[in-house]
Chains A and B, each alone.
Chain A
């Protein structure tokens, strides 16, 4: 069977993971891939843990990614990165984790502890773990709601599945018209940052084992 690439976008309801997944899937469709995207909405929208699966290749059957299969994990929040990390390949894989903590209710109630050393625990053999400051990039782009697209930029640079212009064309048609400029700016910042992995410690910290 032909190879299929598996991408997981994980976050907290309301963070824009669903739109990010749609943009990614549309970019891949335009590049001529067979693409499937699967997401669960409903109760999970209300601040719950959410995940979107995107799979692409010559022919894709199942729309879901399974444990140990993901090539890319784009996590919009640190705890969610850890939650979905078992889905990454045991060898290799790329994790892009937003430097953001959203405490679940149990932590706020003092009934559970937020995990320590998330970035350390995400490491694995041959794996690239990138910590991205989505909030900083969104702020610089002029709209705090563009974090998701900024993170897409980091992912885009790592994925080499499409060119910068491919992404920009899709983003321009898929975000609300009034926010196109800010989203393109955010994407650009993410793209640049994604290319500076391991160099620009302030914006982005890249580590590789």
Chain B
């Protein structure tokens, strides 16, 4: 097609989520290498790229591997990206911080999808902080069209500046659909690969040189930010706005002209809440901030409100630069807007009212915030007295069967990240800790080591007590008893069980297990191996024998890895067989050293798993004691007078059968 014909051809507009748009934008920019570890809300980026032509798209075992893979692609001269959720960037932070020293060959883009409000995450860290911390440029889209554009531009920017570029998304951008005009893919000529140790071998002598060069590149990035069309001003409607020095003209005569500085999804909330009566500085490139243009903007308005989700990231930089509106009043931000959780138009409206920028009194909760009590704490959603509906393990989930046995062993259960974290919730309540990917085994190891020391202390204490018994008066004895309590009394011998899923084991469990073997603790590691990455929507992993793009791969078995790590006790068992599972666990606990029990049963949502015959409750035999409900299966319903099994939900796993002392739970069609 000639260019003219292309211009005449109808442009295709489609509805895309932010994640789909990022994949599309990267693809149009000619990305060739992409790697990621699945994590909400980032997962669909690689899933979409994998289906597009001409891209090597992979699930890496973890985010550090993903980022280093992308770096390798960039080193070879092609455009490359790595995508991850916010906490994944912590895992990839090591290579990230040095990759800004080396800089890039082909364009390199890091996509961080943050989760304000923690819809599916263990924290809500604001990854914008990574940009100034690691010193890499950052772009923040506010909808899918921008996500597409910025994903494309990021590669060019990366190559122009010689720096990796971070594209920062949030859940509401990643998982909202809006209109996107599609473009065509253009793969740029690859950059020639030239061996250049001074640039790419970061030994101290080279790194010191690159450290200085980094500042030069950042200087260029600052200039790029000041010139970037991604940063734009939208003047208040009806304002015959002229350049600096113009008098206020927004709204009614004498009304103060409000200038809003905002970025990402917060821009949409601000536009929704404050309308056309305010002027906006929409920041698209949020590191380096275009501080001189922001200064110019501020000089033309009477008040400045900074609307950003989570941390006062822009607010701090703007304050540090001494930016003020022409009234001289300080810019307002987190003094009136929550720094915790997601923003919303209502929260922005309330903040603007608190600051006196909008007429009307804020509601009482916000008024309390005004009094300085809880300005940073969002108001709780007005909760009608309705039963909650939190996520639960699916009917027939093998994790339920596993936890039902695990909770009976009187062990400390250190947990990990995945569907099985739901086992921490009542009624199973079978988890003591959950911190981050891979932390089950390592935290368990530390716990076991502490108990070892406490046991030693305890033994010494008891010996001393026996020696001094004759001389000690009553008060001393009481003190010693307290000391014994402080060391845990009788408790420092609790068995420790680390529970980790298969994908999490591959992600970062293996190193921890190596440590258990090397530094010898008696932690029993239970790998809940359901042959998939369940929580994020069933992605393949190194244990599944297939890759993201559907290519066959060797099946890595956790038990083989454990044996290779010289774990002395390694067994595989089906957790749906409660008796066998319990027996294996007890033997593992009794083995007195590191042990691995692989509890293998596939996720019931996998297409290959056919449901078994559903069970039912024999109404005549059931005395409504509700013992069976304690296993927390959503298929078991208590109607107020009777217990029933919803046959459309029941997967026939039989986990509940043994709980019924009346033998009322039977296979469909079986009567006693």
Contact = CB atoms under 8 A, between A and B. Distances in A.
Interface in B366-385: 382, 384
Contacts of A103: 637-638
A38 B176 contact: yes
Given A47-B391, A66-B345, A110-B638, 12 more contacts: A37-B15, A40-B119, A40-B175, A41-B41, A44-B391, A49-B390, A60-B178, A83-B384, A104-B390, A109-B427, A109-B638, A110-B626
Interface residues of A, number: 48
Nearest to B39: A42
A46 B15 contact: no
Contact of B40 (A25, A41, A115): A41
B223 to A, nearest CB: 31
A106 B419 CA distance: 19
Interface string A64-97: 1011000000000001101100100000000000
A63 B178 contact: yes
A156 to B, nearest CB: 18
Contact of A62 (B269, B629, B630): B269
A34 B387 contact: no
B389 A62 contact: no
Interface of A: 1, 12-13, 22, 25-26, 29, 34-49, 60-64, 66-67, 79-80, 82-83, 86, 103-110, 112-115, 144
B638 A108 contact: yes
B115 to A, nearest CB: 8
Given A40-B119, A67-B346, A79-B387, A47 B176 contact: no
Interface of B: 13-15, 40-41, 119-120, 143, 171-172, 175-179, 265, 268-269, 271-272, 275-276, 344-346, 382, 384, 386-394, 419, 422, 426-427, 535-537, 626, 629-630, 632, 634, 636-638, 648
Contacts of A80: 389
B387 A48 contact: no
B419 A46 contact: yes
A109 B632 contact: yes
Contact of A79 (B386, B422, B536): B386
A110 B624 CA distance: 11
Contacts of A36: 143, 176-178
28 contacts: A22-B15, A25-B177, A29-B14, A34-B178, A35-B177, A36-B176, A37-B178, A38-B172, A41-B41, A41-B175, A41-B537, A43-B119, A43-B422, A44-B119, A44-B120, A45-B391, A46-B394, A47-B392, A48-B390, A49-B389, A60-B178, A63-B143, A63-B268, A64-B172, A67-B382, A104-B388, A109-B427, A112-B388
Contacts of B419: 46
Given A41-B175, A66-B346, A105 B634 contact: yes
B272 A29 contact: no
A41 B119 CA distance: 8
A62 B309 CA distance: 14
A62 B268 contact: yes
A80 B175 CA distance: 21
A66 B537 CA distance: 28
A193 B172 CA distance: 35
A86 B14 CA distance: 32
Nearest to B390: A48
Nearest to B422: A46
B382 to A, nearest CB: 7
Contacts of B629: 108-110
Nearest to B85: A42
Which of A22, A62, A67 gathers most chain B CB within 10 Å? A62
Most-contacted residue by chain A among B387, B426, B648 (CB, 10 A): B387
A1 B271 CA distance: 11
A1 B275 contact: yes
